[in-house]
Amino acid sequence: MIEKIREWLLTCPLLADQRLNVNHLLGYGIEYAIVEAPTTPIVTQYMDGSSIRQKVFALAALKDESPDILQNIAESGFWEQFTHWVEQQNRLRNYPDFGTTKRVRKVAVTSTHYLLSTTPTTARWQIQLSVTYYQKGER
């Protein structure tokens, strides 16, 4: 599923030409990563074995650190545009394709962007998301 989420995120114009890793930031220039987060995977379990589930992850970005106010405002604008893109994909029902037994119901941004850590030369930003999906039972 994480590969399907990655493919979906790469359709975002803000990320289309970017390196998008999974669970790893290399530390070379500007880069992004999907970082899986711990969660309770089953939201609702039904008698027939089907369920409503969730996958929680963060989109992390490693970027050049700067005290420049204009650059920091631009960084904030990036995350606002990304949030808007996710909301637009929900309105259009354009979701990651998890196959025939899992049907995505919603992708949500569950936190605002935040500065996770800094070094003298880099800053790591994150925003948290969740994918809620229906999984067909095996009975």
Per-residue model confidence as pLDDT tens digits over 61-115: 987 766 665 566 666 788 999 999 999 999 999 999 999 999 999 999 999 988 8
Distances (CA, A) of 36 to 46, 75, 104, 138: 26, 23, 17, 26
What is the number of domains present in the chain? 1
Per-residue model confidence as pLDDT tens digits over 7-56: 999 999 999 888 899 998 877 678 899 999 999 999 999 999 999 999 99
What range defines the domain where residue 111 resides?
A: 2-135
What CATH code is carried by the domain that includes residue 98?
3.30.2000.30
Q: Tell me, what's the pLDDT at 61?
A: 92
Q: Tell me, what's the pLDDT at 138?
A: 81
pTM confidence score:
0.88
